[in-house]
């Protein structure tokens, strides 16, 4: 398996997963509890990763680049309500970290 997308929200991960499954690519969501990764990579718990099989990685990337080109992936800033592209880790307007919902 290879990680194809790291989503800031479960909603985004679900959207990515659905799009990949629609393309006939088997996916797996990881990250809600992050087993086995503690101490390895410092990723906030809020991240949800979408994984696909090695053989499907290229096709999955093509699907994802299509998604991002259509700008369907975005998240709403919990602080100021601004819409941000999924590729942004922090709000472009107020610098709120996507993973920090406090
Ligand atoms: Zn903001």
> Domain of 66: which CATH number?
3.30.70.790
Number of domains in the chain: 1
Instruction: Tell me, in angstroms, the distance from the centre of ligand 1 to residue 99's CA.
Output: 12
- CA 89–ligand 1 middle distance (angstroms): 11
DSSP state at residue 97 = B
CA atoms of 88 and 94, how far apart (whole Å): 12
Q: How far apart are CA 59 and CA 13, in angstroms?
A: 17
**Would you say residue 44 lies in a domain?**
yes
Structural domain for 56, as ranges: 2-71
**For every one of its 102 residues, what pLDDT tens digit does the chain have, with 9 covering 90 and above?**
999 998 877 777 888 898 899 999 999 988 755 444 545 555 555 578 899 999 999 999 999 888 766 555 677 888 999 888 777 788 999 998 877 755
Task: Tell me whether residue 39 is in a domain.
Answer: yes
Contacts of 43 (CB under 8 A, 6+ apart): 6, 31, 34, 37
Is 81 inside any structural domain? no
Q: Model pTM?
A: 0.55
Q: How far is the CA of 13 from the centre of ligand 1 (A)?
A: 20
Residue 24 in domain: yes
- Is residue 50 domain-resident? yes
> What stretches of the chain show up as alpha helix (H) in DSSP?
10-22, 57-69
Cα-based distances in Å from 12 to 27, 36, 38, 64, 72 = 14, 23, 23, 12, 10
Q: State in Å: Cα 87 to ligand 1 middle.
A: 15
- Residue 29 CA to ligand 1 centre (angstroms): 27
């Amino acid at each position: 398996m290879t990680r194809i997308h790291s989503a800031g929200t479960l909603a985004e991960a679900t959207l990515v997963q659905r799009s990949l499954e629609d393309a006939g690519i088997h996916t797996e969501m990881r990250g809600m509890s992050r087993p086995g990764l503690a101490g390895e990579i410092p990723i906030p718990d809020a991240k949800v990763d979408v994984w696909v099989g090695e053989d499907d990685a290229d096709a999955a990337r093509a699907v994802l680049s299509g998604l991002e080109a259509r700008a369907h992936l975005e998240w709403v800033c919990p602080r100021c309500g601004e819409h941000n592209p999924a590729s942004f880790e922090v709000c472009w307007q107020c610098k709120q970290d996507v993973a920090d919902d406090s």
